[in-house]
Amino acid sequence: MGVLIKPQTDRIDGILRTVDIKPETAGWQYVSFAVYQLTRGQTLCGAANGRETAVVVLYGTGRAELNGQSVGQIGERLSVFENKAPYALYLSEDASYQVGCTSDGMKIAVASAPTTHQHLPARLIRPEDVSVELRGEGNTQRRVQHILDIDQEAERLIVVEVITPAGNWSTFPPHKHDTENPPHEAYLEETYYHHISPSDGFAFQRVYNYEGFDESVAVRDGDLVLVPKGYHVVSATPGCDLYYLNIMAGPHRVWNYQVDPAFRRLLPPSGKITGSIVRPSGQKEG
């Protein structure tokens, strides 16, 4: 399987499923990822089934339940490009969920990874729980929304979304996390689920190493890119804003990475990719 996965048209109980990646199809160990498109009145039901699970409302509105108990409205924005963080559900290994669509359309991403048997409580993640960061400067600036990052309680999953303005570079400098070498680098499998605005535009993504693996792909609206190994970087073409949802998981829940040596000169003295928090967790956007 190559790194680029085009959207599909499967239907599960009448609900359109456009992406469905499991470890056995991706050729790795941890990350599963699926995307569902609901219409008004449809309900998506699921269970963790022994896997830590995150359910992210990309856009649309609905009503949600966790373990049979209502958690009220879920979803607020009508596009991933709105200046708003998303709603999400977190489930540990034995939890279940239900999301009913109350808007004209609703898109939901479901990610999972093997549990570590911590039995963490299921919870609703609201927009005010999501910290927002501006990362990079000039033509590398992008907006990062930390839905389930390493500062939030979870077992393996790391979930963030990134909005990159037209003409800017993202996932920059190119970096990798394909080797378990603490504390310098952690093995993390990663998926990029892309949306483009306008939807007939495209972006570029490169996944590569210096050992013969090198794939550069033109990414279109609704495409998924797998990052099983190697350095990776993304570019939004002029005139096309880029959104992607990142899912990462590995044996340990740490984000330690190595930057491509050709670009280490661009790092700050700390040696880490840095940004500024524009809205800490728990603070509502005005």
Put the strands of the sheet holding 142-148 in their side by side order. 4-5, 224-227, 189-197, 241-249, 158-164, 142-148, 131-135, 275-279
Of the pLDDT bands very low, low, confident and very high (cuts 50, 70, 90), residue 286 is very low
Dist. CA 265–CA 106, nearest whole Å: 43
Q: What is the pLDDT of residues 70-107, one digit of tens each?
A: 999 999 999 999 999 999 999 998 999 999 999 999 99
Distance set, CA 208 to CA 32, 64, 228 (Å): 22, 40, 10
Confidence of residue 26 (pLDDT cuts 50, 70, 90): very high
pLDDT of 281 reads: 61
Beta bridge partners of 8: none
268 vs 49, more confident: 49
- The answer to whether the peptide bond before residue 173 is cis (omega within 30 degrees of 0) is yes
Average pLDDT over residues 49-67: 97
Tokens of 178: 């394909």
pLDDT grade, residue 283 (50/70/90)?
Answer: low
Of 61, 137, 126, 45, the residue nearest 90 (C-alpha):
126
